[in-house]
Chain A
Amino acid sequence: MGNVWTITRHTLAESIRQKTVVFLIVLLAVLMLGLPFATRGDDTLSGAVQSFLTYSLTVLGFLLSCVTIFLSKTVSDDLTGKQILILMTKPLARWQYVVGKWLGIVLLDTIVLAIAGVMIYAMTMYIAGELRGSLILMITSNLLQLFGWYAILRALSPQRFSAGRWILIYVVLYIMLLVATVSWVSLAMGFVSKLNWVWIGVGIAFPIVALFMGYGILQIIVPRQMPFKHWAWIFGLCLGVSMLGDGILFALNSYQKSFTVRDEYDRERLENQVLQARHASRFRLPVEEFQREANTAFDQGVEDGRYANVDDLNAAAVRKKLTDDVELRWRSVQPIESRVLEFEDIRCDRSPENIIHLSYRLRVYNYPPDEILRCVWIVGDRTKGATEYQIPRRDVIDRRHTLPIPADAVAPDGTLLAVFVNENIWAAVGEQQAANVVVFEGNNSLEVLFAVSSFGSNLVRALALVLCRLAFLAAMAVMLTTVLSFPVACLVALTVYMLAAGPSFLGEAIDWLPDEGLFRYFAAAMQMLLWFIHTVFVPKFTLYDGVSTLVEGRNVTLMWVITGITRLVLIQTAALLLVACLLFRRREVSEISL
């Protein structure tokens, strides 16, 4: 196992020195700093936050995926540069080599994701106005100066850094990342609700960073061979970088005023809906009651003689149709009618200051002329000890609306009672008004959303899903470069990535085929083939994309992350690595291609 780690370290060192990676990190930093100002969304603060999150996470995912595929260059460079010849004469098993390379790429991805995650979080807090300038000042300024000084020292110092100094740099970064990782993990597990730990970790890391910077200064002063004018150059450049860093800081600070809340609704939305991780709970469908009613109707029908011609075969179909009818009647709310809807298992903090949300999108048949739905929501069951609230609403129809209600409407046993009253009455003068019937179509037409986790930990889990996808891509790229040349392997890997991340139009197209004769067999065969491909080679990345969930303020559940890790990483990535090891074992590394 030590050999795997040696190759991992080596791959990490090699990758960090690749210009593409450095360029990527710089690009990401610039993007994170510039995106909030470029993407304003719909002029509300919550919209700005949402659009920033969407853009930054999407760009991050895409760029990192491409770089991950390109990083398989380490394998093909070894093969074409023939360093593999010396490597394979050492006691290094071929599987250790393959796994080590993969792990090195994944480790680099983790580091970049961690850095990007911190920046995204910081910029989100910045936009939301929750991060005061002084804290950004401390973080960004020190980071920029650290990178600037380090780059300059490296470029100008006539003595290259020895392995010891490299180790010191890596140790410092590893310690910072270790603290950050502990924080991330505990956040992902939901132990800590606010990111106090990160700030504590950052506070511990910065003395170490300052120590390193002092050490860096010593490196300027100590070398005897360096003439004075070099010292002056280095000092001047470092000062320039510091001033640049502080200048960016100052600009950020002054531009923060441009991010203001538009109104109370915006603020509520931002604090309680966007920057939260909420779980959606659906209303209980009283299926047994439907069936009971249907059976009663059926029996009545048999008695009445209406179903005399119905034999046993069709009885089930008739019963089902009756059940569907009952369900439809239940879902529809006629004018002046009300419907009682129950929610279960709402585990939240039941204090009146805590806000939960009722999210609904209702269909109205026979549109009211002004396209406004008038209704009253009565939430809370007084008999169970909950506070009752009556909320009259005038909502534009065919849109999703979110209704904030205090959390003490939830009963102590975790149930919530919601009564919907359809108040669309038209007293028409001289015109026949059709009734406006409200239908709760679909099981997500009404949801209760309550906070279960914090935004920070939600972000961590969303990034964990991104990492799962990157691990898969890294394994595939490594597998391909063991047998193919680098350009071909890259193209194949990119194609698989596009297939995985894009919509599965092929599957949908097959659904459109006519359902008769030969087409049925063809469609069935194609479905099986597609299923095979999707399970084995090309996973559906859209299934593991938590960005939209995060942006809507819904919870990226730990179970989702675990499923992603299991399916994508443990199964598919491991399968790919196995194939790569087998292919590599049989490969003649010194082959002369004719």
Chain B
Amino acid sequence: MGKSTIPVVQTAGLTKAFKDFWRRPRVQALSDLDLTIKPGEVFGLLGPNGSGKSTTIKLILGLLFPTRGRVAVFGRPPTDVTIKKRIGFLPEESYLYQFLNARETLDFYGRLFQQHGSVRAERLNLLLEMVGLQREARRRVGEYSKGMARRIGLAQALINDPEFLILDEPTSGLDPIGTRQIKDVIRRLGDMGKTILLSSHLLADVEDVCDRVCILYGGKKRAEGTIDELLARDDRTQIVTSRLDDSTITELRQLVARHGATDVEVSVPRGRLEHLFLQIVREAQEQKLATSGVGAAGALPGFLGAPAGGETLIQSLIEASAARPPVEPVALSAPAPDAPSPTQQIIEELLAPQDTRVEAEDETPRKEVESSRDSGTKRTVRADESVIDDLLGGRG
């Protein structure tokens, strides 16, 4: 499958203002968004509540029409019906027909793609196996729990083996197992060259799977770029080496000091997406930019028992995270082939200061563990993916 050069999604000056009954614009959901999603990349759309993430997705899908600007999906307008064959969409809530059961739901959506009966049945079974709902397949969707409904939602998004997958808050409502599964699915699909648009609040998940991210606030794009670009800190030089022992480190410090560089820090060389996110939001709030979503949090009301004070919640969070010491350099530097066993790592994580690291969870069932830290990429974990392989036909 050759790589096409048409960007999967291209928006130019995309603006959306929600009007009331008298056609007056009331909510400026999106302003002048220029976005490009290239084929084969996993793209993350981030922002606080109400920043326009869902609006962007709905504009891309043709569920809303832009007030100004243009959006092109696979080079065509989003209302074109033929491109819908190549798209899969998982909405943030599972909007499924309550009176159908899981099999009938998937069958119904499969029919809309004009799949033959045998193809449909086969994919149906594989998808149900993937999401673990074969046994509950005959129950009405109305009786499902939220997590089960989301799983069926994921299954219907994949039923046509889409080139472009749009996931709106995919991990919301899922238990940790489900979260892990979704991330595996996303990684695997990304490896196969599919384009994925991801919108999420769970920053660590986004950090793990995405190639590029775009951060929105108040309907405007505040930052865009690859994870590396955004999280890099360019007033410093970072030299990443294999694991060094103490004496070598001391020597290096002396060498660097002799050349006049100050403030040497030997640590795990990786910034935190969370820091960046909070910084951006705080900057925007300090500039008092317009937003239709969540604004700056005020002081906690007295009757809730919190101490009265002028601190905003965000401020306190930033200070708290800044106050955390950097990760222990020696104990948790790049793991060698004789890395501690997974259990050991979990214990160490628990003993280490509170951190938003979630890699430990992910690594438990892995057969081999590679570092996501020294390579800076994220797609190196392998899991038991035989089912997903079968499902996706192993195409790449």
Q: Are the CB atoms of B99 and A14 closer together than 8 Å? A: yes
A81 interfacial contact with B, CB 8 Å: yes
Given contacts A3-B114, A93-B81, 12 further A-B pairs with CB under 8 A are A3-B111, A14-B97, A14-B99, A83-B97, A86-B91, A86-B95, A90-B84, A91-B82, A163-B104, A586-B65, A588-B64, A592-B18
Q: How large is the interface on A (under 10, 10 to 19, 20 to 34, 35 or more residues)?
A: 20 to 34
B27 interfacial contact with A, CB 8 Å: yes
List the B side residues contacting A163 at CB < 8 Å: 101, 103-104, 107
List the B side residues contacting A586 at CB < 8 Å: 65
List the A side residues contacting B96 at CB < 8 Å: 83, 86
Residues A590 and B64 in contact in the complex (CB < 8 Å), given A10-B108, A90-B113: yes
Q: Are the CB atoms of B63 and A91 closer together than 8 Å? A: no
**Which residues in window 156-201 of A have CB below 8 A to B?**
159-160, 162-163
A308 interfacial contact with B, CB 8 Å: no
**Who on chain A is nearest to B139 by CB?**
A160
Q: Are the CB atoms of A92 and B112 closer together than 8 Å? A: yes
Query: Which residues in B have some Cβ–Cβ distance to A below 8 Å?
Result: 18-21, 26-27, 58, 61-65, 79, 81-82, 84-85, 87, 89, 91, 93, 95-97, 99-101, 103-104, 107-109, 111-114, 138-140, 153, 156
A17 to B82, CA, bound (A): 32
List the B side residues contacting A14 at CB < 8 Å: 97, 99
Distance in angstroms from A545 CB to nearest chain B CB is 36
Q: Are the CB atoms of A160 and B93 closer together than 8 Å? A: no
Distance in angstroms from A225 CB to nearest chain B CB is 13
A2 to B114, CA, bound (A): 7
A589 interfacial contact with B, CB 8 Å: yes
Residues A89 and B111 in contact in the complex (CB < 8 Å), given A81-B95, A591-B64, A594-B18: no
Identify whether the interface residues of A are mostly helix, strand, loop, or mixed: loop
**Who on chain A is nearest to B58 by CB?**
A590
Distance in angstroms from A155 CB to nearest chain B CB is 14
List the B side residues contacting A111 at CB < 8 Å: none
A594 to B19, CA, bound (A): 7
Residues A92 and B81 in contact in the complex (CB < 8 Å), given A6-B111, A85-B91, A160-B138: yes
**Who on chain A is nearest to B104 by CB?**
A163
List the A side residues contacting B107 at CB < 8 Å: 163
List the B side residues contacting A84 at CB < 8 Å: 95
Q: Are the CB atoms of B95 and A83 closer together than 8 Å? A: yes
Distance in angstroms from B393 CB to nearest chain A CB is 20
A529 interfacial contact with B, CB 8 Å: no
Q: Which of A81, A87, A163, A585 has the most CB of B within 10 A?
A: A163
**Who on chain A is nearest to B25 by CB?**
A594
**Who on chain A is nearest to B22 by CB?**
A594
Distance in angstroms from B101 CB to nearest chain A CB is 6
Distance in angstroms from A94 CB to nearest chain B CB is 9
List the A side residues contacting B97 at CB < 8 Å: 10, 14, 83
Distance in angstroms from B15 CB to nearest chain A CB is 15
A82 interfacial contact with B, CB 8 Å: yes
List the B side residues contacting A85 at CB < 8 Å: 58, 63, 89, 91, 95
A88 interfacial contact with B, CB 8 Å: yes
List the B side residues contacting A83 at CB < 8 Å: 95-97
Distance in angstroms from A165 CB to nearest chain B CB is 10
28 A-B pairs whose Cβ atoms sit less than 8 Å apart in the complex: A10-B97, A13-B99, A82-B93, A83-B95, A83-B96, A85-B58, A85-B95, A86-B96, A86-B109, A86-B153, A88-B62, A89-B62, A89-B87, A92-B84, A92-B112, A93-B81, A160-B101, A160-B138, A160-B140, A163-B101, A163-B103, A590-B63, A592-B18, A593-B21, A594-B18, A594-B20, A594-B21, A594-B26
Distance in angstroms from A328 CB to nearest chain B CB is 66
**Which residues in window 1-60 of A have CB below 8 A to B?**
2-3, 6, 10, 13-14, 17
List the A side residues contacting B108 at CB < 8 Å: 6, 10
List the B side residues contacting A592 at CB < 8 Å: 18, 27
Going nearest first, the 3 A-B pairs with the smallest beta carbon separation are A590-B63, A594-B20, A82-B95
Among A2, A17, A159, A591, the residue within 8 A (CB) of B138 is: A159
A86 to B27, CA, bound (A): 24
A537 to B189, CA, bound (A): 52
Residues A89 and B84 in contact in the complex (CB < 8 Å), given A2-B111, A6-B108, A14-B99: yes
Q: Are the CB atoms of A6 and B139 closer together than 8 Å? A: no
Distance in angstroms from A419 CB to nearest chain B CB is 70
A487 to B87, CA, bound (A): 35
**Who on chain A is nearest to B99 by CB?**
A17
Among A88, A90, A160, A162, the residue within 8 A (CB) of B109 is: A90
A162 to B153, CA, bound (A): 20
List the B side residues contacting A91 at CB < 8 Å: 81-82, 84-85, 112-113
Q: Are the CB atoms of B65 and A588 closer together than 8 Å? A: yes
Q: Are the CB atoms of A89 and B89 closer together than 8 Å? A: yes
A512 to B99, CA, bound (A): 55
A591 to B58, CA, bound (A): 10
**Who on chain B is nearest to A82 by CB?**
B95
Distance in angstroms from B379 CB to nearest chain A CB is 27
A574 to B97, CA, bound (A): 28
A92 to B80, CA, bound (A): 10
A162 to B62, CA, bound (A): 34
Among A6, A13, A588, A591, the residue within 8 A (CB) of B112 is: A6
List the A side residues contacting B20 at CB < 8 Å: 594
List the B side residues contacting A89 at CB < 8 Å: 61-63, 84, 87, 89
A211 to B99, CA, bound (A): 27
A10 to B87, CA, bound (A): 22
**Who on chain B is nearest to A5 by CB?**
B111
Give per-residue flags for A551-594: 1 if the beta carbon is below 8 A from chain B beta carbons, else 0: 00000000000000000000000000000000001101111111
List the B side residues contacting A13 at CB < 8 Å: 99-100
List the A side residues contacting B19 at CB < 8 Å: 594
A128 to B320, CA, bound (A): 91
List the A side residues contacting B109 at CB < 8 Å: 86, 90
A14 to B99, CA, bound (A): 7
**Who on chain B is nearest to A161 by CB?**
B138
A50 to B169, CA, bound (A): 65
Distance in angstroms from A593 CB to nearest chain B CB is 8
